[in-house]
Chains A and B, each alone.
Chain A
């Protein structure tokens, strides 16, 4: 076995594992602080903004993501419903494949931004404006597809809690709609 190659391998593999480990810790802390509304530690913020930690190679390698799937909390889903005079459609009607539909529905999570009571930064205000544009855009695509006038609304989907499972009553809470 070629010794210089092995040394390079050890260095590269160690760097990868350090990045994977650090990202896992930081994303765990980030989701924990977000869920329990704690302040995110300054040190984590500094590491996150460090150019060595956030370099393009790691972005390409996919090492910039954590592993807390569905955790610490399973997020609620949002449902976008478009309605003309005859019928209501869920926004995934615009796509053909299950995988395409699922990807498209992932974007609905952006409406969490609408929930935050105080939109502190300009960036957050921009995001709310983008959400409105997206809703309008979906409405337009429905109007083009079915050649009729539509109104599109976004709802928070609320399923009964485990203790109320007998009721099986789902709630849709309206968040926003097209004018």
Chain B
């Protein structure tokens, strides 16, 4: 009980929220720009695979891009509507980065993002889910209250009433659950024990790799170690990231794993978001220069 009280009474400085808002805003912006010229072929009436066919596999109770563009088509030409949708998306990212009503901007951006990600559900992947969750946390956290344009222009509207400790603990627990279950799911599959999964993953033809690992390393032992290494990093993340002595090493290991995912699987945006989640949760207030006083207190375990 005392430990629980210690965990939830420790105070945190707001740098982690500022970092989270700006870096997520930037990643979401670059991610969207990275398929700007293909957007029409994926998510509009010009789509190679008509969007209504996606609903044979997944249906969600959401405001769809089809409805949004249909509404805009009442006022603009089809191409203008698509351009307006895309430009609004970019504009909202910029508002989030600058901190100008970032919570409200994140809400509208989330509605736009879900409208095409979940309607064109055959095209989504891990980065999209973590983008949605990140935007939701920008809405939930007092992200406009610190180092933001809103704070400069409307200081009274930007007063923070929320607990930074609860925000920090929420994202920490969430990231621990995510890694633990990611590791658990892997250890349940026997192909992860013998290196076969890693070997198969690096040869998947539908991922565009920077480096084809299979061309350089052909020793099965390497893939077995690689597979078990991934399992251990993920499964024991909740334990070792929360121990003072091992936190730094586990953070480095986890970020290295994501850098590896970028190099060998080219899942840049997924890894970038995960690195941001890691730094937000376990770098800020622990290793940056403005540590909280409580972190030095002998009564606090350092969790």
Contact = CB atoms under 8 A, between A and B. Distances in A.
Given A72-B192, A104-B48, A162 B199 contact: yes
Nearest to A71: B185
A166 B218 CA distance: 8
A contacts with B: majority SS: helix
Given A63-B133, A104-B123, A165-B218, A74 B37 contact: no
A28 B184 contact: yes
A95 interface: yes
Interface range on chain A (Cβ under 8 Å from partner): 35 or more
A121 to B, nearest CB: 12
A72 B132 CA distance: 24
Interface string A13-46: 1001100110011011001100100000000000
A2 B204 contact: no
B189 A71 contact: yes
- Sorted from nearest, which 8 A-B pairs have the closest CB atoms? A100-B38, A72-B189, A62-B132, A68-B185, A71-B185, A105-B206, A107-B122, A24-B181
A1 B206 contact: no
Contact of B191 (A73, A130, A133, A159): A73
A157 interface: yes
Interface of B: 31, 34-39, 41-42, 48-50, 53, 56-57, 60-62, 110-111, 114, 118, 122-126, 128-133, 136, 140, 161-163, 166, 169-170, 173-174, 177-182, 184-186, 188-189, 191-192, 194-197, 199-201, 203-208, 214, 218, 220, 223, 266, 269
Contacts of A97: 34-38
Contact of B194 (A6, A77, A162): A162
Contacts of A96: 37-38
B181 A28 contact: yes
Interface of A: 1-2, 5-6, 9-10, 12-13, 16-17, 20-21, 24-25, 27-28, 31-32, 35, 56, 59-63, 65-74, 76-77, 79, 94-110, 123, 126-127, 130, 133-134, 137-138, 141, 157, 159, 161-163, 165-166
Given A9-B166, A102-B207, A165-B218, A94 B49 contact: no
A157 B205 contact: yes
Contacts of B118: 59
Contact of B49 (A2, A24, A137): A137
B6 to A, nearest CB: 17
Given A98-B266, A107-B122, 11 more contacts: A17-B170, A59-B60, A60-B111, A70-B186, A71-B197, A72-B188, A99-B269, A106-B125, A109-B122, A127-B56, A137-B50
B13 to A, nearest CB: 15
